[in-house]
Structure 1
Amino acid sequence: MDLARQINERSRLTGQFTLRSGLTATHYFDKYLFETDPVLLRRVVDAMAPLVPTGTELLGGLELGGIPIATLLGQVTGLPVLFIRKQAKTYGTQKLVEGVDCAGREVLLVEDVISTGGAVIDAAHAIRGLGGKADTVLCAIDRRAPAANQLASNGIQVRSVLTGDQLDALTV
């Protein structure tokens, strides 16, 4: 079975859902349903590995869904992984980004599903604030509307394994 069909069958839910952006949707991809399946997660990561740009020095997994993908992608590619929180811890080291120092290094942001790009922009700002370079995100599913250019206007290129349109085409 091809990857798009397998993800669609495993992860597509119908109903009324509120997205991170506050928008509502009648269908939703529960990424945790494919991310917690070791065989399917490995298929996703195997499809991502060839999309990693040359020159990438670190993989930056976005909390929460990007972390398992980035961790396995690190195993496949041999690249070290950072974990990028939604907000800094209020205790201990109080870090927003966990892992090695990213200053002066090329960080590939890794996300599961992109709907509006808000979390990706926040993560890019976090990496850039630490002196790192973050101008590309690699995601499993890009669900942005075709006209959405919020990421491009923030200097972020998107590479994706699948698009929402590809998955939506499987339901007709």
Structure 2
Amino acid sequence: MIPKSKEAQELFQLMKSHVYRYSEKPFLLASGRESNHYFNCKEITLHPDRLTLLAKVFAIDIIPTIQELSGLSLESVGGLTLGADPISYAIALEYSKSGKMVYPLVVRKETKDHGTKKKIEGFFQAVKSCLVVDDVITTGGSTLKAVDSLREAGLTVNSGICILDREEGGRELLESNGIRMYSIFQKSDFF
């Protein structure tokens, strides 16, 4: 169900016109699956005005709901690089406008093999918990990889957000691993 705020309605129109594609010839997804429905959320996350709107929708419609339902104390946001990075930065900047410090965290796909050999970049030592972030959830595998890394670093991770849930088992996988996922949109909203 699409959130009701005017910002969410505007974002939905942008998603319909720039992100969602349908083709009779299936697209190959990052999960290895094929689908006639494709969502390129980089059309939102890599466009400054659209990314600003996305951060507002998370801050207005989604994160307050999570805080109300789970008692989340929003200290940090982050997930697996590349999909989560711009979203995490934008949310951190959105909250900084009201004087709230929310640290963005970047989880590498592989541990750095030089320098400090970090798996997570950002001020993760300054926080106890993280709201995991992804752009699209299909199987949930990449989000779970980020969760595992964040938990290994000693952070509590029990909630997550994404722009779109493709409704292909990802939410269920994450819930079976103790993560309650909240999405702005679902695949079925688009057809």
Q: What TM-score, normalized to structure 2?
A: 0.80
Deviation beyond 4 Å, 4+ runs, structure 1: none
Residue type at the aligned position of 1:6? L
Residue type at the aligned position of 1:72? A
Equivalent position SS for 1:134: coil
Q: How far did 1:84 drift?
A: 0.9
Q: How far did 1:39 drift?
A: 1.4
2:35 is the alignment partner of 1:25: yes
Match of 2:187 in 1: 164
Q: What TM-score, normalized to structure 1?
A: 0.88
Match of 1:101 in 2: 124
Q: Deviations over 1:58-91 (max 9, x none)?
A: 1113210110011010001131111111111222
Q: Deviations over 1:7-59 (max 9, x none)?
A: 12101233432222211112211111111221111111111013223412111
Match of 2:153 in 1: 130
Q: How far did 1:158 drift?
A: 0.5
Residue type at the aligned position of 2:29? L
Match of 1:68 in 2: 86
2:123 is the alignment partner of 1:113: no
Change beyond 3 A, Cα 1:146–1:98? closer
Match of 1:11 in 2: 19
CA RMSD of aligned residues (A): 2.0
Pick from 40, 57, 61 the counterpart of residue 47 of structure 1: 57
Q: Deviations over 1:89-110 (max 9, x none)?
A: 2222221110113486110111
CA distance in structure 2 between the aligned counterparts of 1:147 and 1:11, rounded to whole angstroms: 20
Change beyond 3 A, Cα 1:91–1:14? farther
| Corresponding residue pairs, total | 168
Q: Unmatched 5+ residue regions in structure 1?
A: none
Q: Are 1:88 and 1:96, in contact at CA under 8 Å, matched by a contact in 2?
A: yes
CA distance in structure 1 between the aligned counterparts of 2:45 and 2:85, rounded to whole angstroms: 10
